Structure 1
Amino acid sequence: MSGPDRRGWLKAAGASLAGLWLAGCDRLNASPGFTRLLSTGEDLTRRAQRLVTDRKALAREFAPTDISPDFKANGSTDPRDPEYLALKAAGFEGYRLVVDGLVERPLSLSLAELRALPARSQITRHDCVEGWSSIGKWTGARLGPLLDRAGLKPQARYLVFHCADTLDPSAPPGEGRYYESIDLIDAYHPQTILAYAMNDAPLPVKHGAPLRLRVERQLGYKHAKYVMRVEAVDDFARFGDGKGGFWEDRGYQWYAGI
């Protein structure tokens, strides 16, 4: 099977698995055996995908003329959390990004300090699990150099992105906020950035102001908005339900590569 054919087969297989999971049958979802099967399938899909693709291969980039005139926003579009509202009212002047966890030198950076870090601009396509896509230009601090500045400890394996928006108000206080995680392979990908600008303007609130993750070879729900803290960890079992993200805790795949 040729390279493109293999990638197409893997994409179709992953889509089929995701469809089974998201469509969901209550009886199957309640079965520990079925859950283990899905988890095994996801792990196999991730391993297989990385065998046939270069880990540093770039996501396709587009021309300025390809930028979508109306880039769709979904999920949280105007967080009502008091901490976020206070930052928004002040034009995000008091915003600080915290980088901590398994690092040698914990950081607390203002937006001005983030803008002074090694940056990248890219015009890419955002693919949502709901089936739509939009193209936008993103500018932000490259995550790899930021991690080098903090100095990851040897036991660090993942990054957890803590966000300002509560997406599940019915959850206990502090537990309904959005969060996501990626491994260090994706963290050091050259197109993985913490974006503070969109289409050559400050990042709009509906798209995650003041800072959002762009991890361009992942589906849209991995691109965490309203990022407040990046925590380096050895595993993510203690966060949420231990699946690695807000939507992953609710049945989505952790590895959402495209």
Structure 2
Amino acid sequence: MKRFSAGRRRFLTAGAAGAAGLTLAGCDVFDPLLRPNHPVRNAMSSANELTYSAQRALIGREALAKEFSESEIRQGMRPNGSTDPNNVEYMFLRQADFVLYRLQVDGLVDTPTSYSLEQLRNMPARTQITRHDCVEGWSCIAKWTGVPLAAILDEVGVQSNARYCVFHCYDIYSGGLSGGVPYYESIDMLDARHPQTILAYGMNDAALPVANGAPLRVRVERQLGYKMAKYIQRIKLVESFAQIHGGKGGYWEDHGYDWYAGI
């Protein structure tokens, strides 16, 4: 089973990287292929749905991604995407060392709640050494510490019609004439409650660096790196993300990437 899992992980990572890499490359020749209802984009979407169904069928609900030993951490965690948000609110919080930071958790919950960084650090924590697999093709092993997202969900009380956790972030991505779009991502409730899904505030036995998502990022170890939103300011539980930004469940998904990026 270990041999099958490792091989499957490599296969799915390579497949997802090849497909999503069309957009990452930023090459105009591929733009028509990623337009809505284009056969290539529809084929990619079908493959994504197949991967989602296959992983749910073949892998247990709480099957863990591989964890590593400290000796296998051979380099610092490579930053990617946004590394220094210029959102005014974020810059103010950073200047004060995130003392005034509050994580808002709301939507389809019984008790909407906000948490300070200190409150999150004082909750029972999980530490895990895992490999970050980027859709661009690189990987990196790092040690992450944070509070399990499931613990937060238990505190606020999840309503029965909640299907997704949507992570709203401080970093703003270029939006042309629209003035920019806040980064966002989403996962389903099964992945939200997975034992390795944590809200990380620590990396490699130190506070999470700004370049890697401080003060808080999500780790979803059975998915590709772009699902692991950084600079989180709000978690909203929803029944559907159809009316959120582009309606595909994430910033990159709105630009043609797969929503389910399982590995």
Structure 1 and Structure 2 fold alike (TM over 0.5) = yes
SS in 2 for 1:49: helix
Number of residue-to-residue matches in the alignment: 256
Q: Aligned ranges for residues 30-45 of structure 1 at < 5 Å? A: 30=35, 32-34=37-39, 35-45=41-51
Task: Report deviation, 1:69.
Answer: 2.3
1:30 is displaced (CA, Å) by 3.3
Aligned-pair distance for 1:72?
0.7
User: What is the letter of the counterpart of residue 75 of structure 1?
Assistant: G
- Counterpart of 1:73 (choices 79, 83, 99) is 79
| Aligned counterparts of 1:234 and 1:143: Cα–Cα separation in 2 | 18
State the alpha-carbon separation in 2 of the partners of residues 118 and 64 from structure 1. Answer: 21
Measure how far apart 1:238 and its partner are. Answer: 1.1
2:105–2:235 Cα contact (<8 Å) kept: yes
Per-residue Cα deviation, 1:68-119 (whole angstroms, up to 9, x for no partner): 3222101011111101000000110100000000000001110111112221
Aligned amino acid, residue 141 of structure 2: I
The residue number in structure 2 matching 1:47 is 53
1:254 maps onto 2:254 in alignment: no
Q: Is the 8 A contact 1:7 1:52 kept in 2?
A: no
Conservation of the 8 A alpha-carbon contact between 2:146 and 2:201: yes
| Cα-to-partner distance string for 1:106-134 (whole Å, 9 max, x where unaligned) | 01110111112221001111111111111
Residue 23 of structure 1 and its aligned partner are, at CA, apart by 2.3
Rate the CA distance shift 1:98–1:6 in 2: closer, same or farther, 3 A.
closer
Residue in 1 that maps onto 2:223: 218
Deviation at 1:7, TM superposition (A): 7.3
Match of residue 242, structure 1, among 237, 247, 254: 247
Match of 1:182 among 179, 187, 192: 187
Task: Give the corresponding residue for 2:208.
Answer: 203
Q: Paired residue for 2:123?
A: 117
Q: Does 1:166 align with 2:172?
A: yes
Counterparts of 1:95-114 in structure 2 under 5 Å? 95-114=101-120
CA contact (8 A) 1:62 1:123 kept: yes
Tell me what 2:197 maps to.
Answer: 192
Match of 2:27 in 1: none
Structure 1 unpaired stretches of 5+: none
Q: 1:58 aligns with which of 64, 68, 79?
A: 64
Match of 1:145 among 145, 151, 171: 151
Aligned counterpart for 1:132 among listed residues 122, 128, 138:
138
Q: Secondary structure at the match of 1:243?
A: coil
Assess if the C-alpha contact under 8 Å between 1:244 and 1:254 holds in 2. Answer: yes
Distance between the aligned counterparts of 1:31 and 1:165, measured in 2? 26
Quote the residue 1:19 is aligned against. Answer: 18
Rate the CA distance shift 1:129–1:189 in 2: closer, same or farther, 3 A. Answer: same
Moved more, 6-15 or 82-91: 6-15
| Structure of greater relative contact order (alpha carbons < 8 Å, 6+ residues apart) | 2
- What RMSD in Å do the two structures reach over aligned CA positions? 2.1
**138-147 or 31-40, which deviates more:** 31-40
What amino acid sits opposite 1:71 in the alignment?
M
* Higher mean displacement: 15-24 or 181-190: 15-24
Q: Contact conserved, 1:60 with 1:124, CA < 8 A, in 2?
A: yes
Gaps of 5+ in 2: 24-29
Q: Distance in 2 between matches of 1:68 and 1:161?
A: 30
Residue 36 of structure 1 and its aligned partner are, at CA, apart by 3.1
Q: Offset at 1:168?
A: 1.7
Paired with 1:6 and 1:206, the residues of 2 have a C-alpha distance of 31
